[in-house]
């Protein structure tokens, strides 16, 4: 019984890492390239080269019934890369990737 619980927790751990990596990769794809430069972070291409393989490794680390079950020791690196993107980069580029209002970017608002 405890062995089954451990297997389920192990599976849930790797599924969470894969979901986190996928979330970071999808968020990266929806952001404009200019937002990274304006936010003072590395380029979108740099983060794509980090998060793309991280998501692939996280998928390969999922245990055998659902995934491939190897490279599991690298899954922690995938989690770190995704967390750094979501916690540090995403908030820094968010103000620069919002859509402008109906009056365009030159509109400052106010009186």
What digits encode the pLDDT tens for the residues 37-49?
999 999 999 999 9
Assess whether pLDDT exceeds 90 at residue 16.
yes
Tell me the two tokens of residue 32.
């404009």
Q: Note the pLDDT tens digit of each residue in 55-110.
A: 999 999 998 777 777 888 899 999 999 999 999 999 999 999 876 544 555 555 55
pLDDT at 53 over 90: yes
What is the number of other CB atoms lying within 10 angstroms of the CB of residue 76?
Answer: 13
pLDDT at 1: 86
Q: What is the pLDDT of residue 101?
A: 46
Residue 109 CB burial class (10 angstroms; 0-12, 13-18, ≥19): exposed
* Rounded alpha-carbon distances, angstroms, from residue 34 to 7, 23, 31, 39: 44, 20, 9, 9
Please state, in angstroms and rounded to a whole number, the distance separating the CA atoms of residues 108 and 111.
9
| pTM of the entire predicted model | 0.81
Closest to 82 measured CA to CA, from 42, 44, 55, 56? 55
Residues 79, 43, 101, 88: is their CA dihedral positive or negative?
A: positive
Residue with tokens 């990266």: 28
Picking from 31, 23, 28, the residue whose alpha carbon sits closest to that of residue 96 is 31
Q: What is the mean pLDDT of residues 11-33?
A: 95
């Amino acid at each position: 019984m405890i062995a089954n619980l451990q297997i389920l927790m192990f599976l849930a751990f790797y599924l969470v890492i894969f979901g986190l990596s996928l979330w970071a990769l999808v968020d990266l794809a929806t952001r404009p390239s200019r937002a990274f430069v304006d936010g003072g972070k590395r380029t979108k291409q740099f983060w794509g080269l980090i998060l793309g393989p991280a998501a692939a490794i996280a998928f390969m680390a999922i245990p055998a019934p659902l995934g491939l079950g190897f490279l599991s020791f690298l899954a922690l690196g995938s989690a770190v890369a995704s967390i750094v993107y979501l916690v540090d980069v995403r908030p820094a580029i968010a103000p620069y990737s919002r859509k402008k209002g109906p009056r365009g970017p030159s509109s400052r608002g106010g009186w």
